[in-house]
Amino acid sequence: MHDLAGYALDIATAAGASYADVRIIEQESQHLGTKDQNVSRVLLGSSQGLGVRVLCRGGWGFASTQALTRQSVRAAVARAVATGFASASCLSRPAILAPEPAYNAVWVSPHTVNPFSVSLETKLGVLLEAARIIRSVKGTTLAQGSMSFISEKKLFASSEGSRIHQTFIRSSCGIEAYATNDHDRQRRSYPNSFGGQHELAGWEMVERWNLPANALRIAEEAVSLLTAPACPQTTTNVILEGSQLGLQIHESCGHPSELDRALGQELNFAGASFLTPDKLGKLQYGSPLVNLVADATASGALGSFGFDDEGVQAQRVYLVQDGLFTGYLSSRETACLIGLARSGGAMRSESWNMAPIIRMTNISLLPGNAGSLEDLIGATDDGIFMSTNKSWSIDQLRYNFQFSTEAGWEIKKGKRGRLLKNCSYGGITPAFWNSLDAICGTQAYVDWGVPSCGKGQPMQTMWTGHGAAPARFTNVDVGIAHASLKEAP
């Protein structure tokens, strides 16, 4: 692979490219699913290919090939160079790259047990046992489970001299319990909704989350939600459970802090950003407790790596520090546009056949000193504790939002009370984050994984992480996410 990467770089520079980089990626995947006691999905896949990116007179060009032969690579480089020169002819200004050292490095994501060494029978057995427990609870109508495992080997080489080998092992697991009556349908998920938890880890993460041991609880909660009272429409304190807070961070901080959005270069699919460069270092994004970091070095978190897809070494960048908006997710090119000395290392691509764009790494809220979740509930006179995302909506600037959760619990005089269904909350991003007044400590902190963040056109999906501990927000508008069939007009 080294020889083929070097060959591509030599051809590109000989053809007039002032800069070139090559990614060669090999991937193996397993995606498993169950419905009740039936296996609904066993997808086994593999992929390999090469992507080459070039700068020609300041214009970008990119091309790829699945055939790893010299002839195919030569043709791909020719397409990339031709595109680069064509791009240069219509640019208002040429692309300039912030400096980055050349690296010769090997990086392997942390894992104890390679999930591909574990049999399909063992994996499906865990899901089927969880399904059996869920369906043993009267009132449940469906049990679903899923697991995914991806092994990716990536070589990055650049005309600046970098040669970087990285190996990623990504694993996920999750279960869902559904309950239905004549008027309503409710769902409870574990460890999270939309496929469960996702980590840069091996089979050991499945054992740690222990799906069968949590199946009975979520089944009973799903059934109880059918007859639970609806969330009241009021303004109150809200405590968000960690995974829900992770998605809040993703949508209202992660996306708007992408510098290509803030500069108006990327408006497709999920819109622009209210965090424009004139607000950098000036906007009070949140209360003094709000410290948000983009941390690609977090061990085991889904958005971690050794080097991004421009060969920039992983780093930790403050986006919000003590409540003040202080940083962006940036690339080598966009860093230069706002006067940064170095890229934030946020350029990533979904695959070998896609050009890298600015993507979230692990966008995390640093823990506070409010202790455990039960400690925080005990310190709250009145409010609602909301858990596990059900749906969300946010405007094109990432400013106005609404989220709904699978379950909520009333808080009265420091005690967790009635279960509530169809809980939702909404607000305006800076006002909401400025209302944060307590964050649980490190014992409640989890790096939650989001494996399918969409951006760009053509759309790329990306794996990102969001570290969070439960946190409390004051004076939040809450209400009913949607009416049950009985309540609907």
Query: Given a cut of 80, is residue 487 above it in pLDDT?
Result: no
Query: Given a cut of 90, is residue 488 above it in pLDDT?
Result: no
Structural domain span for residue 189: 2-227
* Residues 430 and 465 both lie in one domain: yes
pLDDT at position 457 is 87
* Residues 360 and 345 both lie in one domain: yes
28 lies in a domain?
Answer: yes
Confidence band, pLDDT 50/70/90 cuts, at residue 227: very high
* Residues 216 and 265 both lie in one domain: no
Q: How many domains does the chain have?
A: 2
488 lies in a domain?
Answer: no
Question: What's the pTM?
Answer: 0.95
Q: 349-402, pLDDT tens digit by residue?
A: 999 999 999 999 999 999 999 999 999 999 999 999 999 999 999 999 999 999
489 lies in a domain?
Answer: no
* Residues 270 and 412 both lie in one domain: yes
* Residues 280 and 140 both lie in one domain: no
* Residues 192 and 264 both lie in one domain: no
100 lies in a domain?
Answer: yes
487 lies in a domain?
Answer: no
* Residues 209 and 249 both lie in one domain: no
85 lies in a domain?
Answer: yes
* Residues 219 and 328 both lie in one domain: no
* Residues 278 and 394 both lie in one domain: yes
160 lies in a domain?
Answer: yes
Query: Which of residues 227, 245, 278 is at a domain's end?
Result: 227
* Residues 58 and 152 both lie in one domain: yes
**Which CATH number belongs to the domain containing residue 114 in this structure?**
3.30.2290.10
Query: Given a cut of 70, is residue 414 above it in pLDDT?
Result: yes
pLDDT (mean) for 195-203: 97
Q: 418-463, pLDDT tens digit by residue?
A: 999 999 999 999 999 999 999 999 999 999 999 999 999 889 999 9
Query: Which of residues 227, 253, 274 is at a domain's end?
Result: 227
357 lies in a domain?
Answer: yes
Query: Given a cut of 50, is residue 240 above it in pLDDT?
Result: yes
Query: Which of residues 186, 208, 227 is at a domain's end?
Result: 227
Q: 268-314, pLDDT tens digit by residue?
A: 776 899 999 999 999 999 999 999 999 999 999 999 999 999 999 99
pLDDT (mean) for 206-227: 98
Q: Could you give the percent of the chain with pLDDT greater than 90? A: 95
SS (H, E, C) the chain: CHHHHHHHHHHHHHCCCCEEEEEEEEEEEEEEEEECCEEEEEEEEEEEEEEEEEEECCEEEEEEECCCCHHHHHHHHHHHHHHHHHHHCCCCCCCCCCCCCCCEEEEECCCCCCHHHCCHHHHHHHHHHHHHHHHCCCCEEEEEEEEEEEEEEEEEEECCCCEEEEEEEEEEEEEEEEEECCCCEEEEEECCCCCCEEECCCCHHHHHHCHHHHHHHHHHHHHHHHHCCECCCEEEEEEECHHHHHHHHHHHHHCCCEHHHHCCCCCCCCCCCCCCHHHCCCCECCCCCCCEEEECCCCCCCCCCCECCCCCECCEEEEEECCEECCCECCHHHHHHCCCCCCCCCEECCCCCCCCEECCCEEEECCCCCCCHHHHHHCCCEEEEEEEEEEEEECCCCCEEEEEEEEEEEEECCEEEEEEECEEEEEEHHHHHHCEEEECCHHHCEEEEEEEEEECCCCEEEEEEEEECCEEEEEEEEEECCCCCCCCC
* Residues 241 and 206 both lie in one domain: no
* Residues 220 and 340 both lie in one domain: no
